[in-house]
Amino acid sequence: MRLQGRIAAITGGALGIGRATARLFAAEGATVALGDVDVAGAEAVAKEIVAGGGRALAVGMDVGDAGQVRDFVDRVVSELGRLDVMFANAGIAHSAPFLEHPEAEWHRVLRVNLSGVFFCCQAAARQMVRQGGGRIIATASINGFRGVENLVGYNVAKAGVIELTKTLAVELAKHHIAVNAIAPAQIDTRLTRSLPEEARRRRVDRIPMGRFGDVDEVARAALFLASDDASYVTGHTLAVDGGYLAGGLWSR
Ligand SMILES: NC(=O)c1ccc[n+]([C@@H]2O[C@H](COP(=O)([O-])OP(=O)(O)OC[C@H]3O[C@@H](n4cnc5c(N)ncnc54)[C@H](O)[C@@H]3O)[C@@H](O)[C@H]2O)c1
């Protein structure tokens, strides 16, 4: 019960990494607020957590809209009393070669994956300053460290999240707010299941552990960063990547 009595907000909580983290945080004693554009999906996860004896709230919201993010945090605080953990996790991807990358998709990915994280961090941090502290976690990606082809908007947004994490950690430490990020590699979710089989195989070839990661393996890293176990950790991006970032060129 590493999060007993804590209130945690999770964006993108209806599916994938966010859903797995919501289940784990609830099992560890937290009350979870799931923010997602897929409100029916978020409600289903909340229902499942409540049926299992936990506490959960589902809220329809778009992280790319600063007003909706503020309303989300306000609702968490008015209904649940406070906000101890913000997991800014919602994200999307668009795959296209740079030379053909549509302008609209560049803006859409940056809006959700970078501005969305900024809005969630800011709304959460303002509340946490009033409370005297808290923990913020953002979902970056190994793509924030590497020039992975055909994902320029996604990669740039994730590199921005890594830098945002460092800057906010420095600015918010005096308010007892820790800010960290997670950089998953290939995790088996809707986001990666849509890839052609050949692309999935090539990606696994570049991971020393030789397999996709599971959502629960990311959720456990988020739990560490949300818990008191990480009391002296801030500004860090934790790779959950089967060794991908440790590697260079090799053949199997
Ligand atoms: N799956 C991977 O291999 C992988 C690797 C690295 C990073 N990530 C990152 O992990 C995070 C979660 O991805 P996932 O794999 O669980 O994806 P997913 O598609 O399974 O889930 C994403 C969730 O975010 C929600 N969402 C999308 N846009 C939103 C918005 N504007 N506002 C609120 N909610 C929104 C979706 O409805 C969905 O519930 C993303 O930030 C993604 O970039 C995933």
- Residue 187: both structure tokens together: 């995790």
Measuring CA to CA, how many Å separate 176 from each of 36, 120, 129, 134, 252? 27, 17, 8, 7, 46
Residue of 10, 17, 137, 238 to test ligand 1 pocket, by largest number of atoms within 8 Å of CB: 17
Mean pLDDT of the chain: 96
Measuring CA to CA, how many Å separate 52 from each of 22, 55, 242? 13, 9, 31
What pLDDT digit, counting tens, does each position of 192-238 carry?
888 888 888 888 988 999 999 999 999 999 999 999 999 999 999 99
Please name the residue ranges forming H helices in 102-252: 103-110, 116-131, 152-172, 190-193, 197-205, 215-226
The pLDDT value recorded for residue 200 is 87
55 Cα to the center of ligand 1, angstroms:
23
Would you say the CB of residue 34 lies under 6 angstroms from ligand 1? no
Distance CA 209, CA 199 (A): 17
Band (248; pLDDT cuts 50, 70, 90): confident
With CA atoms as reference, report the closest residue to 83 among 25, 37, 126, 146: 126
Band (249; pLDDT cuts 50, 70, 90): low
Would you say the CB of residue 64 lies under 6 angstroms from ligand 1? yes
250 pLDDT above the threshold of 80: no
With CA atoms as reference, report the closest residue to 222 among 14, 61, 2: 2
What pLDDT digit, counting tens, does each position of 51-83 carry?
999 999 999 999 999 999 999 999 999 999 999
What are 211's strand-pairing partners? none
What pLDDT digit, counting tens, does each position of 76-119 carry?
999 999 999 999 999 999 999 999 999 999 999 999 999 999 99
Domains of the chain: 7-246 (3.40.50.720)
Single pTM value for the model:
0.98
User: Percentage of the chain with pLDDT > 70?
Assistant: 98
152-172 helix and 103-110 helix, angle to the nearest 10 degrees: 30
251 pLDDT above the threshold of 60: no
Of ligand 1's listed atoms, the one at least distance from the Cα of 218 is 10
